[in-house]
């Protein structure tokens, strides 16, 4: 996770979660017919093909990132850098990471 954070990598599989959620919304209900499912899969395949063509031609739009997620990523990168260069010890690092996490509830 440290290397992923330093290199601005993805820490979750949100792509899969996003696709599952979008697919559920496209289906429209919990028990779709086979025909509805096939139609939705065809639509999704067409969107994916369009995205590949746009990517190949260099016209793919950058993904949108919420400001809060971008700020959190920058904060984690800064903390990992401080730990790596020795300006922060492990206890201080863990305390700072704990203070950076926002609990929802």
The token pair that represents 29 in the structure block: 């209900």
The pLDDT, as a whole number, for residue 12 is 66
Mean pLDDT of successive 10-residue segments in the chain (105 residues)? 74 72 80 87 88 80 80 89 92 90 66
The pLDDT, as a whole number, for residue 8 is 74
The pLDDT, as a whole number, for residue 57 is 83
> In the chain, where are the structural domains located?
9-64, 66-105
The pLDDT, as a whole number, for residue 104 is 58
> What is the distance between the alpha carbons of residues 75 and 67, in angstroms, rounded to a whole number?
12
> What is the distance between the alpha carbons of residues 101 and 104, in angstroms, rounded to a whole number?
10
DSSP string spanning 24-88? HHHH-SSS--HHHHHHHHHHHHHHHHHHHHHHHTT-PPPPP--HHHHHHHHHHHHHHHHHHHTSS
The pLDDT, as a whole number, for residue 103 is 65
């Amino acid at each position: 996770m440290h290397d992923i954070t330093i290199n601005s990598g993805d820490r979750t599989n949100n792509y899969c979660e996003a696709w599952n959620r979008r697919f559920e919304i496209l289906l429209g209900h919990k028990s779709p017919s086979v025909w509805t499912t096939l139609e939705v899969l065809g639509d999704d395949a067409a969107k994916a093909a369009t995205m590949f063509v746009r990517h190949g031609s260099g016209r793919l739009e950058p993904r949108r990132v919420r400001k809060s997620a971008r700020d959190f990523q920058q904060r984690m990168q800064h903390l990992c850098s401080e730990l790596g260069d020795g300006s922060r010890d492990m206890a201080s690092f863990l305390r700072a990471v704990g203070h950076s996490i926002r609990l929802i509830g």
